[in-house]
Amino acid sequence: MKRPLSAVTDRLVIIIPYLWLLFFFLIPFFIVFKISLSTTAIAMPPYTPVLSLSDGVAALMSQLGEFSFDNYIWLTQDALYFNAYVSSVVIAAISTFLALLVGYPIAYGMARAPATIRPTLLMLVILPFWTSFLIRVYAWIGILKPEGLLNQFLLATGLIDQPLVILNTHTAIFIGIVYSYLPFMILPLYSALEKMDYSLIEAAQDLGCTPISAFWKVTFPLSLPGVIAGCLLVFIPAVGEFVIPDLLGGSQTLMIGKTLWNEFFANRDWPVSSAVAVILLLLLVVPIMFFQQAQARAQEQGR
Amino acid sequence: MKSLGNIRRDFAPWNQPDAKPYIQFKNITKRFGDFTAVNNLSLSIYEREFFALLGASGCGKSTLLRMLAGFEEPTEGQILLDGQDLRGIPPYRRPVNMMFQSYALFPHMTVEQNIAFGLKQDGMPKAEIEQRVADMLKLVKLGQFAKRKPHQLSGGQRQRVALARAVAKRPKVLLLDEPLGALDKKLREETQFELMDLQQTLGLTFVVVTHDQEEAMTMADRIAILDKGEVMQVATPAEVYEAPGSRFVADFVGNINMFEGKVADRNGAAATIAGANGLTIRTANAGDAAAGTEVAFAIRPEKIKVSSKKPESGDNVMEGEIYDIAYLGDMTIFHVQLGNGQVVKASSLNATRATEDPLSWDDKAWISFRNDAGVVLTR
Ligand SMILES: Nc1ncnc2c1ncn2[C@@H]1O[C@H](COP(=O)(O)OP(=O)(O)OP(=O)(O)O)[C@@H](O)[C@H]1O
Ligand SMILES: [Mg+2]
């Protein structure tokens, strides 16, 4: 009698993540999707139809008939949305690349550090999470603004004689994203580099590679799963990022997160903002699937 | 005593005074912090030699190899390769290839790509690389595995890929760090002969590290026995076994009985040794041990005969009692306790299925050996 019972508990354990996904992802997603098919209304909630069974099944059926894809068509008609999507992806891609450039040497250094100090280094990478994300982004305003710390320093050392305009430019957004998401880049890179056998690099050198070519032929290819994981962990949240472009990028920056905020709070157009969110999600699902495929491939490689 | 040369082939440049060593370690010391891993070590290895470094774990074998490959620099001393000082030359510019203890195959490359790696690095033309890789695959009998990744191979196959990769560049010197450590006994024995064949065919100089003395004896032209970063003896396998230079070497290689004593009387090369509790040993060759010197008389178990009756004649005959018997199938090892309390090991080959002279526990027994069966050790 023990076996069937354990089979049931086994099944339950597997069900938990699915339930989680159902309640906190699929159901909310369908609610958003439903709203995206509605029309705005001056009401509470601010859209129609509001589905309810109280008026009977026939009424419900006729309400369902009111759903339309008009909001999605609207998104294609105003260039604002297309531009916002493209600019978000471009900004996120550039930031991800910069984060990789900054994060790789850090992760490499950590992986090569003496084993005794590695836990400390890891701790230091995670340390910023102990303060609020919002406060850290605000702090960058104080650093980057024309009379901010950075400009004061550069003026004092005589490197420049006019304050640099960084705040409210794309540069400030890049700095903000790279700074905020760097740990997500470093951690997977570190874990990929740390488990690499150093004798592989010695073998490459033994077979005639200079240290630099040994890096490109052995170290880097073997760290690719970490590179991909790190890039996706930075890229995906960066595309939909709202706080950083809003605080550091000024009014000019066009990012989909800001557009969504405007539709939702300034225009109170829930259906259109829902449609924006659904498209954004589809845009991000593609890289996630790519990520999973890469992971499966890495697993198949036996690493 | 007749000199014991290389019994495997007619090759003994170390006996020719005008032969130039190919690899020379000159007074090499290597320290890690305040720990001395290699201590003032000097060694000469000749071209086309199969040279083995044998020693217990941690005695500095790998360190020596890594200094030759260029992964470590000696703290003091000089390493010469074909007359050239190797100091400061990085690993990728040394005409030396290493087969790693862990194999260190590139996991993201196929067998073929692994073998071609070093050749590509040298900028060899593509067609030539293909030809060389095919030759190598044939040599290590891995033709049908060319497109596999290392994790899809068995341990023995991986080891052969590592070998092929190291040999592919035709290095002047091939360094092998415990090349057969991960293999089972049978595969290990097979591969030992494959390695010897390979070395003969390609005419390379091999330096192999091992802590398995049988492996060293089987493969090598000469063996260096190391202890705590120092060379104890460099000699052919036969010399190491039959004429060990010190108590350490005698004890380290194979089984041996050691009689501590004093040279009582010398008569030309021959001598009488007085052991503990009135034991007397007659030997035909006591080397340069003068009368009165503290020495050890060392003799291998297979050179001692055990019998139940007192032998009629013999250079050395001693009485004792059977203390223990180990039957190993091909031979039997007797532990005989002598009158002075010392236990002597004697092995006898089981040449027939029945023993005509059955010996049992606690039986009285006689051991005997010739006067040229053992060696006198002063160190
Ligand atoms: N990088 C290092 N730092 C500190 N000590 C080291 C280092 N490399 C080796 N040692 C020490 O030097 C000694 C010799 O090491 P080595 O690796 O040469 O031993 P080995 O003879 O190859 O042993 P084994 O048969 O176990 O492989 C050991 O005591 C080891 O602890
Ligand atoms: Mg070793």
3-state helix, strand, coil in chain A (%, to 5): 75, 0, 20
A302 touches chain B (CB under 8 A): yes
Residues in chain A within 8 Å Cβ distance of B97: 206-207
What is the structure's pLDDT at B141?
A: 83
**What are chain B's domains?**
2-95+171-247 (3.40.50.300), 255-377 (2.40.50.140)
Q: β-strands B375-377, B316-327: how paired?
A: unpaired
Subunit contact A213:B121, Cβ cutoff 8 A? yes
Subunit contact A208:B90, Cβ cutoff 8 A? no
Q: What residue ranges of chain A have pLDDT lower than 50?
A: 1, 303
Please state the domain count of chain A: 1
Which of B104, B106, B121 lies closest to A208 in CB terms? B121
Q: Does the residue A225 lie in any domain?
A: yes
Give B61 Cα–ligand 2 centroid separation in angstroms.
6
Q: Which residues pair with B177 in a beta bridge?
A: B209
- Domain CATH code at residue A175: 1.10.3720.10
Q: What is the pLDDT of residues B54-69, one digit of tens each?
A: 988 888 889 999 999 9
Q: Which residue of A has its CA nearest to B68?
A: A206
Is the distance from the beta carbon of residue B57 to the nearest atom of ligand 1 less than 6 Å?
A: yes
B301: Cα separation from own chain's centroid = 19
Residues in chain A within 8 Å Cβ distance of B121: 207-209, 213
Subunit contact B106:A204, Cβ cutoff 8 A? yes
What is the structure's pLDDT at A94?
A: 95
pLDDT tier at B2 (50, 70, 90 boundaries)? very low
Q: Does the residue A220 lie in any domain?
A: yes
Give B282 Cα–ligand 1 centroid separation in angstroms.
43
Q: Which helix (H) or strand (E) holds B237?
A: helix B237-242
Q: Does the residue A7 lie in any domain?
A: no
Q: What is the pLDDT of residues B202-255, one digit of tens each?
A: 888 999 998 888 888 888 889 999 888 888 889 888 888 888 888 888 888 888
Q: Does the residue A68 lie in any domain?
A: no
In contact, A91 and A173? CB cutoff 8 Å: yes
Give B71 Cα–ligand 2 centroid separation in angstroms.
14
Q: Does the residue A107 lie in any domain?
A: yes
Subunit contact A203:B71, Cβ cutoff 8 A? no
**Res B305 pLDDT > 70:** yes
Which of A199, A209, A213 lies closest to B100 in CB terms? A199
Q: Does the residue A5 lie in any domain?
A: no
Domain that holds residue A168: 77-302
Q: Does the residue A35 lie in any domain?
A: no
Q: What is the pLDDT of residues B36-57, one digit of tens each?
A: 888 888 999 998 899 999 988 8
Q: What is the pLDDT of residues B129-148, one digit of tens each?
A: 999 999 889 888 888 998 89
d(CA B81, CA B4): 28
**Which residues are CB-neighbours of B262 under 8 A, at least 6 positions away?**
B273, B274, B292, B293, B294, B295
ipTM over 0.90? The verdict is no
Q: What is the pLDDT of residues A173-220, one digit of tens each?
A: 999 999 999 999 999 999 999 988 889 999 999 999 999 999 999 999
Subunit contact B106:A206, Cβ cutoff 8 A? no
Is the distance from the beta carbon of residue B31 to the nearest atom of ligand 1 less than 6 Å?
A: no
Would you say the pTM of this structure is higher than 0.90? no
Q: Does the residue A260 lie in any domain?
A: yes
